[in-house]
Chain A
Amino acid sequence: MIYNEEFETLPREVLEALQLKRLRQVMERVYHTVGLYRKSFDEAGVSPEDLTSLNDLHRFPFTTKGDLRDNYPFGLFAVPMSNIVRLHASSGTTGKSTVVAYTRRDIETWSELMARCFVAAGLTRNDIIHNAYGYGLFTGGLGAHYGAEKMGASVIPMSGGNTKRQITILQDFGPTAICCTPSYALTLAEAGAEIGVDMRALKLRVGILGAEPWSEQMRSEIEDKLDITALNIYGLSEVIGPGVSMECIEGRNGMHIFEDHFIVETIDPDTGAVLPPGEAGELVFTTITKEAFPLIRYRTRDISRIMTEPCRCGRNFFRMERVSGRSDDMLIIRGVNVFPSQIESILMAIEGLEPHYQLIVERTGTLDTLTIKVEVSDKIFSDEVRMLQGLERRISKDIKDYLGVTAAVRLVEPKSLQRFEGKAERVVDKRRS
């Protein structure tokens, strides 16, 4: 099913013409209203009039997280506060939080995008959506909430936390869909099983999961433990919040980018060079309809790949592959680039291992060392030392074989690693302190 058939199935050339028209308008507007853009365009010797084709966008300067931080809190807003109806702020895991703003029309746009996501997940107005994304400054909760209401489903505004209560509501209200982070979906599955609830017997049918990188193996695990179809949703508060792209239930392979509102590019994170579609690189977004907080060529730090192949669902938007990591999450261990998601894939490929792990990076003398703590589960616990040591060695070997880094593996007691209700933070980098 498609929520906005007219726009979501636009032929490529019509879509690109629309993109160019909208891009020119937004460029013109930010040049005259936002100091940063006037300055950076002038410095780069480019002007909005230079945009005669979409490729001309490549000549414009990037906007970075640092620019957002330098203009904290309201320096990049393109409309007066009297036109702004909502503020959100990012969690600020990598520094000061960044503040984003919405006009009434921006909220309308965002709600429609989230409505498109829910319909892409196969939901209708007959569905009940359990929204366990955090409500508040984080865009997840309210973004999903407005989208659910817009498409007419019933929404349960659960927010994050209070896991036992969530399980009671899941049992008693019988929601058919859940929105949360993938790690929280697993936390719920585990917590439910622990108190004797058959989590597969719930009415849940589909999960709209995102806000952190995850793996295909984790998807299988969630689908198995909750008996649902788990779909990937992508978004970031700077661009609009959740609803920048969404996997369709028909294809279940890559997330359709809502290109009538965003222009996507992939670049080489080191050189900034634009990569052809199909090559993995850092995603860069330009918002072409946002009023309060337009962003030009925003570097997301998210590593992905654009898929241009047509999709069976009928949407004409390009898809992006699941984010394989963030370029600032990337660990460089003795010169080798490693994403936590790669380690997760390896762990999850080993029968019986639970996706509860922690990566600890330390520097001993001049050498980096990586230690991976993995929880022992009933399935893998053997009474014999050599079996457990064999498992540790197997994990180390797989990591060495696939990623080329040496890691010490330590089995730890179950439930001894932290559980996450929002975004999972699995890396402890002691080199920074």
Chain B
Amino acid sequence: MKAEQISIFMENRPGALEQATRVLKDAGINIRALSLADTSDFGILRLIVNDVEKAKEVLKASGFTVRRTEVVAVEVPDRPGGLHSILESLSKENVNVEYMYAYVERSGENAIIIFRFDQTDAAIRILTQKGFTVLPGDKVYSL
């Protein structure tokens, strides 16, 4: 039920992001969702792409420091309180959200949010029990 995300280390300087997107473009890789965590001197670009293995390979070959990270893609009801209901069930069980970001596409009537939890397996178990839909990796990459 887990999805895989590519994380890339970037210096905070003009052109750093552009180099990464160029490598992905040249390899024909499509970015499905992204977030950029930034500090004053560096950033971490996090991507959901249609081909994780290939993305990692071409980025590494171009000299980027790359890591694959397990994340969880959850369908969130597109109505007031939708996200809150998910977070509520997790905080009750003491699961911490390290970071999260929204997916570009929708899944039917629902939005999709990518989560990074401190306890990935526990989070998936809780969410499934509560009736939320956790999307498997292959489904996420090809939505």
Hey, which bits of chain A sit against chain B, CB under 8 A?
376-378, 381-385, 388-389, 410-416
The segment out of B7-15, B77-85, B122-130 that lies at the interface is: B7-15
- Flag whether B63 is at the interface (Cβ < 8 A): yes
**Least CB distance, A229 to chain B, in whole angstroms:** 31
- Flag whether B69 is at the interface (Cβ < 8 A): yes
The answer, among B44, B63, B66, for a CB contact under 8 Å with A415, is B63
Q: A389-B39, A412-B11, A413-B11 are in contact. Are A381 and B67 (CB under 8 A)?
A: yes
Specify the main secondary structure of chain B where it touches its partner. Answer: strand
CA distance A376 to B7 in the complex (A): 13
A-B contacts, 13 of them at CB < 8 A, read A378-B67, A381-B9, A381-B65, A383-B46, A383-B67, A383-B116, A384-B116, A385-B37, A385-B39, A389-B39, A410-B42, A411-B9, A416-B11
- Flag whether B41 is at the interface (Cβ < 8 A): yes
**Least CB distance, B59 to chain A, in whole angstroms:** 12
The answer, among B39, B41, B65, B116, for a CB contact under 8 Å with A414, is B65
CA distance A382 to B7 in the complex (A): 8
**Least CB distance, B11 to chain A, in whole angstroms:** 5
Q: B42 to chain A: which residues have CB within 8 Å?
A: 376, 388, 410-412
Name which residue of chain B comes closest to A386, CB basis.
B98
CA distance A412 to B42 in the complex (A): 8
The count of A-to-B residue pairs whose CB atoms sit within 8 angstroms is 49
Q: A414 to chain B: which residues have CB within 8 Å?
A: 63, 65
**Least CB distance, A346 to chain B, in whole angstroms:** 20
CA distance A368 to B92 in the complex (A): 50
CA distance A162 to B110 in the complex (A): 57
Interface size class of B (residues with CB under 8 A): 20 to 34
**Least CB distance, B138 to chain A, in whole angstroms:** 21
Q: A411 to chain B: which residues have CB within 8 Å?
A: 9, 41-42
Q: A388 to chain B: which residues have CB within 8 Å?
A: 9, 39, 42, 44
Q: B66 to chain A: which residues have CB within 8 Å?
A: 381
**Least CB distance, A10 to chain B, in whole angstroms:** 55
Q: In the bound complex, do residue A383 and residue B63 qualify as a contact, i.e. CB atoms below 8 Å apart?
A: no
Q: B99 to chain A: which residues have CB within 8 Å?
A: 384
Q: A383-B7, A416-B11 are in contact. Are A378 and B46 (CB under 8 A)?
A: no
**Least CB distance, B69 to chain A, in whole angstroms:** 4
Q: In the bound complex, do residue B98 and residue A377 qualify as a contact, i.e. CB atoms below 8 Å apart?
A: no
Q: In the bound complex, do residue B65 and residue A378 qualify as a contact, i.e. CB atoms below 8 Å apart?
A: yes
**Least CB distance, B78 to chain A, in whole angstroms:** 28
CA distance A377 to B65 in the complex (A): 7
- Cβ < 8 Å to A, chain B residues 91-116: 98-99, 116
Per-position contact with A for B50-75: 1 when CB-CB < 8 Å, else 0?
Answer: 00000000000001111101000000
CA distance A388 to B43 in the complex (A): 10
The answer, among A378, A413, A415, for a CB contact under 8 Å with B10, is A413
Most buried by A among B10, B64, B65, B98: B65
CA distance A376 to B8 in the complex (A): 11
CA distance A415 to B99 in the complex (A): 29
Q: In the bound complex, do residue B98 and residue A384 qualify as a contact, i.e. CB atoms below 8 Å apart?
A: yes
Q: B9 to chain A: which residues have CB within 8 Å?
A: 376, 381, 388, 411, 413
